[in-house]
Amino acid sequence: MKTWKHLNIENRKTISSCISHNYKLINISEILNYDPRGISREVKRNRIVISIGLKNDCNKTKKWPYVCTGCKNKYNNCPYTKYKYNAQIAQKKADANLINSRKGIDIDDDEFNKLDSIIKKGTDENKSIYQITIENKENINKSITTLYRYINNGYLTTKRIDLPRAVKYKKRKHNKKYDYSNNKIDRTGHTYLDYLSYIHKNPRVNVWQLDFLGAIKTDSKNILSFILPEVHFTLLDIITNPTSNKVVKFFDNLEEKIGTDTFKDLVPVILTDRDPCFADIFGICFSKITGEERCKIFFCDPYVSNQKPHVENINGQIRKFFPKGQSVDKYTKKDIKQINKTLLHTPIRSLDGNTPADAFKTVYGDDIYYKIFDIVNGKLK
């Protein structure tokens, strides 16, 4: 006989009908295949008062069936408080009790204070809830979904506005239209359709995505982001008064660090937007060391940022360190390298909790990673 299942409206209608026909509790239990104690509690808990009497409850309402249904005195001048069991009202009360029982948090004060402190400290350091959970596995026994619910419901000191990317998106203001279709730049063979054709013929080739983070008008510097989406690997650089020559220099420096052959193997394809700073196709694609082609570059269509969605997503993560509307001129290349290191050592959910640095080393080896970042004896040069 079941004691655990929730009664539904049909079960409650059966109980109400049986009570009106003076069924015994054991008989109703057999009909519903439900424990009689559960039925007894159901009626007593969800009965309603139909009139308040001058005297306390009579003996009939203190035991089964706990209501005045079937009582020969219910229509007489009875001095006692009268009760009734109504299936529809009982169902509504049961639903309300169920919802209320699931509100709040199932956690004691000490555990709550500890959890609140960990989440607050993590978000103050611009860490995501996922990263905080991964880094504090031993101290946090709640799921990520539960933690977000605690925050959204206002239980924790950390509020939704404190989360790195929990912002309201508004319609963008286009005060200035940039002409990405500069007729002076010949992108023949380097369009997005050319990219799709090349990838179709070379489906397993690495495709890096290139972009500028964007800066306020008064800034002289800008953050260059260069990522390999499959392993969430990101290279950052800060460039003063960005030009196409300085972007080319970024790739020349990378080639010098890791070698031409490694560069050609690691960075065969670059996908970017039509920013004029990326317009020196020959300078980016051809090596200054050998004069040979070291990579291919393709350009997305104007105003179609979803053609390179990964770098757009990474830029959103980088914004944790460089909030929109704030100047980046105060940062040096050393600062950017340290932030880059922090970004690469952040656990990523799609990497099963591993970091981009771990993923890159596993796929391409420690040696290339250390050369890229000038790491000697475990320290940045």
pLDDT, one tens digit per residue, over 277-296 is 999 999 999 999 999 999 99
Residue type at 186 in one-letter notation? D
For the cut 70, the answer to whether the pLDDT of residue 377 exceeds it is: no
pLDDT at residue 1, rounded to an integer: 55
For the cut 90, the answer to whether the pLDDT of residue 249 exceeds it is: yes
pLDDT at residue 57, rounded to an integer: 76
pLDDT at residue 378, rounded to an integer: 58
Q: Could you give the percent of the chain with pLDDT greater than 90?
A: 40
pLDDT at residue 160, rounded to an integer: 84
The mean-pLDDT minimum among 39-48, 240-249, 298-307, 350-359 falls in 298-307
Locate 292 and state its tokens. 């040979």
pLDDT digits (tens, 9 = 90+) for 154-164: 888 888 888 86
pLDDT at residue 172, rounded to an integer: 53
Nearest to 182, CA basis, from 8, 302, 328? 302
User: Average pLDDT in the 17-46 region?
Assistant: 90
pLDDT at residue 267, rounded to an integer: 95
For the cut 70, the answer to whether the pLDDT of residue 211 exceeds it is: yes
Euclidean distance between the first and the last CA atom of the chain, given in angstroms as a whole number: 73
Report the C-alpha gap between 166 and 370 in whole angstroms: 34
pLDDT at residue 101, rounded to an integer: 58
Tokens 């960990």 correspond to 118
At residue 250 the predicted structure's pLDDT band, cuts being 50, 70 and 90, is very high
pLDDT digits (tens, 9 = 90+) for 335-345: 999 999 999 99
For the cut 80, the answer to whether the pLDDT of residue 321 exceeds it is: yes
pLDDT digits (tens, 9 = 90+) for 138-155: 888 888 888 998 888 888
- Of 305 and 378, the one with more pLDDT: 305
Identify the bridge partners of residue 71 per DSSP, sorted by sequence position. none
Give the angle 60-63-65 at the CA atoms, nearest 5°: 80
Asked if 28 contacts 1 with a C-beta cutoff of 8 angstroms, the reply is no
pLDDT at residue 210, rounded to an integer: 92
pLDDT at residue 165, rounded to an integer: 64
Report the C-alpha gap between 274 and 126 in whole angstroms: 31
> Would strands 207-212 and 221-228 be described as parallel, antiparallel, or unpaired?
antiparallel
Identify the bridge partners of residue 48 per DSSP, sorted by sequence position. 84
Report the C-alpha gap between 78 and 55 in whole angstroms: 9
pLDDT at residue 166, rounded to an integer: 62
Q: Give the list of residues 6+ apart from residue 252 with CB closer than 8 angstroms, or none.
A: 288
User: Average pLDDT in the 175-193 region?
Assistant: 69
Q: Distance of CA 128 to CAs 120, 163, 165, 346, Å? A: 11, 7, 8, 9
Q: Give the list of residues 6+ apart from residue 161 with CB closer than 8 angstroms, or none.
A: 167
For the cut 60, the answer to whether the pLDDT of residue 332 exceeds it is: yes
pLDDT digits (tens, 9 = 90+) for 74-124: 667 788 888 889 999 989 888 887 766 566 666 777 888 899 899 999 888
For the cut 60, the answer to whether the pLDDT of residue 182 exceeds it is: no
Give the angle 250-255-258 at the CA atoms, nearest 5°: 125
On the CB side of 208, how many CA atoms lie within 13 Å of its CA? 22
pLDDT digits (tens, 9 = 90+) for 303-320: 787 788 777 677 777 888
Identify the bridge partners of residue 240 per DSSP, sorted by sequence position. 221
The mean-pLDDT minimum among 11-20, 53-62, 190-199 falls in 53-62
Q: Distance of CA 250 to CAs 93, 237, 246, Å? A: 68, 8, 6
Sorted by where each starts, the structural domains of the chain and their CATH numbers stand as 9-101 (no CATH), 109-162 (no CATH), 192-380 (3.30.420.10)
